[in-house]
Amino acid sequence: MHKSDTCLNTPFMPTKALLRAIVPMSQDNFLFQFRIEEPGPLSSCAPGQFIQLWIPGAGEAPISVCSGSVDGSLELCVRKAGRVTSALFNLVEGDWVGLRGPYGSGFPVKDYVGKDLVLIAGGLGVAPIRSLWQYILDRREQFGKLVLIYGMRHSEMLLFRQEFKLLLRRKDMHVFIAAEEVIGPDLPSVSWQLGRVTDMIKLAEIDECFLAAVCGPPVMYKYVVTELQNKGLKNDNIWLSLERHMKCAVGKCGHCFVGGTFTCREGPVFRMDTLRFLPEVIECS
């Protein structure tokens, strides 16, 4: 084997991706659309998986894939937070980045077939949840009832605004969009509810037969899980995507090691009854 072959097989080798389009969605959150330059595992990302985004000179950061990748395209919804994401915001269409992955467990979509589903997103947690609803809607007939709940602090933080306008018109799913504060010019076109995702869970027609997929800020989980339990859902029917601090994404560096678990490898999606480190992540009854 040539030395160069060994290098190409390393899990740390990124694939070149061309930045095709940048779509501003809110003040600090943009959608970045990429074309993958080489064939490989990135063309089959499962909902809930993530990639490592590499910007030359800035470093790497884990980012959820927020689209199904079709024909070598892939979308990332990114908040400008620090070194890597700021460098991404400085790029222009036609620039390239490195991507490696996909990594992580993702949502167990095969187990969801034939079941009633409630998808719950808080804030930027809508990114991995979007990959899940796109997967389900592409195969709508395979699934039962579908409820989508999306909450944010302020209505101006709504991401995927145009897509939500279309989702709200669909007859084969029930969409709730909630904000704690609501203002904005195009409110009549979006069915806003004042409140939190937990208020929407109370409103929605969900029963113990539903399976739940949840992603949001850490503070959200405890309250969401309690509301789902109040609706009759058992812990083995609730999946949580937990975005711990990660560096290598392949279970080597130990940054995301908690309670005996590498969350990059075994997560970020966990079925609630299997969470060995539950008390460290969320408090719940």
Ligand X SMILES: Cc1cc2nc3c(=O)[nH]c(=O)nc-3n(C[C@H](O)[C@H](O)[C@H](O)COP(=O)(O)OP(=O)(O)OC[C@H]3O[C@@H](n4cnc5c(N)ncnc54)[C@H](O)[C@@H]3O)c2cc1C
Binding positions for ligand X, rule: CB under 6 A: 50, 61-64, 77-79, 81-86, 124, 127, 243-244, 246, 268
CB 100 within 8 A of CB 51: yes
Residue 278 vs residues 187, 198, 216: alpha-carbon distances, Å: 38, 20, 16
**Shortest approach of ligand X to residue 202 CB, angstroms?**
28
Q: Which is nearer to ligand X, 30 or 143 (CB)?
A: 30
Which lies closer to ligand X via its Cβ, residue 45 or residue 206? 45
CB of 224 vs ligand X, minimal distance in Å: 18
Compute CA distances 14 → 11, 60, 86, 194, 283, whole Å: 8, 10, 19, 43, 37
Select 60 or 227, whichever has its Cβ closest to ligand X.
Answer: 60
Closest approach of Cβ 122 to ligand X, in Å?
13
DSSP letter (8 states) at residue 260: T
Which residue's CB is nearer to ligand X, number 54 or number 210? 54
CA 255 to chain centre: 20
Handedness of CA 174, 180, 186, 187 (dihedral sign): positive
Which residue minimizes CB distance to ligand X?
A: 82
- Report in angstroms how near the CB of residue 77 gets to ligand X at its nearest: 5
Closest CB to ligand X among 89 and 223?
89
Q: How far is the CB of 34 from ligand X (least distance, A)?
A: 13
Of the candidates 271, 249, 274, which has an alpha carbon nearest to the alpha carbon of residue 259? 274
